[in-house]
């Protein structure tokens, strides 16, 4: 034990608080870059993003040609939202805490203020002074949300005739409420409802906790629910790219080789009419790593590849 303690001390004694902050924010940037599914192979020389040092992560963000200004703002917004949600920063001091990140991503203070205003409108609970946000609470709510979704999706297998995707889209969204979730849960079997109640007890979930957890569903989760609804994950394991290209071409009605927002809306509404424009736009942005407001086949494939992992 003394040896390990000495090793830890040797590695960390020279690190300053500012260095820790730089590393922490770099890890957030690393996480967002992975989500974007950008083509980094030619820059990493066989390495993965996880292998990069703090400074190398910042350099990578600067040299990636597909990391457009729109993607930089999208990434910064996601990082800022997560940092507030996890209690790492408070809205009032985020300008100072994220100063170095803005310099690295070429984002102005004015753009930061605009993003903060957007977050306050989209996630008012994050700016509620009565709520305390911290990493432990975030992990608790994230884990509960994942287990709740898994329970509902498992219940769907015993009720394949029900339009689950409509209910899921309404419940797992920024505009959810306890009433919306209860409407969904009352259609589950008694066994499934008991499982949900056990989850609530295990994670100590209050009504406010539940609403907060569901409002922070990642846009990728919307893709996953759609994939579950059309049974695509199972098909993809068996037929891989051939089947995926067939689905892509079906959505790409004009044969341009890209899926536009209109085409995505048309396709998704053939599955479910209750998914709103805002949710579909978020799905497109989650897949559109090039920032051209279109989904190429490679981007489409990357999304579904990420769902398998």
Domain ranges (residues) in the chain: 17-127, 139-216, 220-308
The values of phi and psi at residue 295, to 5°, are -110, 115
Chain position carrying tokens 């004694």: 13
d(CA 300, CA 309): 15
More confident residue, 70 or 43: 70
Alpha-carbon separation of residue 208 from 133, 165, 169, 204 (angstroms): 13, 23, 19, 11
Mean pLDDT for 76-99 is: 86
Q: What is the reported pLDDT for 45?
A: 73
More confident residue, 156 or 13: 156
Candidate from 60-64, 215-219, 304-308 with smallest mean pLDDT: 304-308
Contact of 76 with 105, CB cutoff 8 Å: yes
Token reading at 167: 């209910």
More confident residue, 226 or 171: 171
The per-residue pLDDT of the chain, averaged, comes to: 77
112 confidence band (pLDDT: 50, 70, 90) = very high
**Tally of CA atoms within 13 A in the half-sphere of 275 that contains its CB:** 26
111 confidence band (pLDDT: 50, 70, 90) = very high
**Burial label, 280 (beta-carbon count in 10 A; 0-12, 13-18, 19+):** buried
Chain position carrying tokens 């993965």: 48
247 confidence band (pLDDT: 50, 70, 90) = confident
Concatenated DSSP letters for 225-238?
HHHHHTTHHHHHHH
pTM recorded for the entire structure? 0.51
| pLDDT above 90 (res 109) | yes
Reported as a single tens digit per residue, the pLDDT across 147-164 is: 888 788 777 666 655 556
Helix axis angle, 207-215 to 135-158, nearest 10°: 80
* DSSP-derived 3-state class of residue 256: coil
Domain 220-308 has CATH 1.10.238.10: yes
222 confidence band (pLDDT: 50, 70, 90) = low
Instruction: Give CB contacts under 8 A, 24+ apart, made by 233-239.
Output: 233/304, 233/307, 233/308, 236/304, 236/308, 237/308
| pLDDT above 70 (res 275) | no
């Amino acid at each position: 034990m003394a040896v390990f303690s000495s090793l830890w001390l040797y590695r960390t004694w020279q690190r300053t608080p500012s260095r820790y902050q730089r590393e922490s924010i770099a890890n957030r940037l690393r996480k967002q870059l992975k989500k974007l599914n950008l083509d980094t192979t030619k820059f990493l020389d066989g390495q993965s993003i996880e292998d990069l040092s703090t400074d190398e992560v910042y350099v990578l963000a600067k040299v990636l040609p597909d990391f457009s200004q729109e993607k930089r703002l999208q990434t910064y917004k996601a990082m800022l939202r997560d940092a507030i949600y996890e209690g790492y920063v408070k809205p009032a001091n985020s300008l100072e805490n994220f100063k170095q990140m803005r310099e690295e991503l070429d984002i102005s203070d004015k753009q930061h203020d605009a993003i903060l205003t957007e977050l306050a409108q989209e996630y008012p609970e994050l700016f509620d002074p009565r709520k305390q946000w911290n990493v432990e609470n975030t992990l608790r709510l994230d884990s509960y949300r994942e287990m709740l979704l898994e329970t509902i999706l498992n219940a769907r297998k015993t009720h394949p005739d029900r339009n689950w995707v409509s209910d899921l889209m309404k419940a797992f969204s920024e505009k959810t409420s306890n009433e919306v979730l209860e409407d969904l849960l009352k259609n589950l079997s008694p066994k499934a409802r008991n499982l949900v109640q056990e989850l609530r007890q295990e994670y100590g979930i209050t009504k406010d906790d539940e609403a907060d957890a569901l409002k922070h569903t990642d846009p990728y989760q919307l893709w996953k629910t759609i994939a579950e609804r059309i049974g695509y994950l199972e098909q993809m394991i068996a037929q891989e790219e051939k089947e995926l290209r067939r689905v892509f071409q079906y959505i790409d009605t004009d044969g341009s080789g890209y899926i536009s927002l209109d085409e995505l809306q048309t396709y998704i509404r053939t599955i479910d009419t209750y998914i709103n424009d805002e949710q579909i736009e978020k799905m497109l942005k989650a897949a559109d790593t090039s920032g051209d407001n279109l989904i190429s086949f490679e981007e489409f494939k990357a999304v579904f590849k990420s769902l398998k992992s």
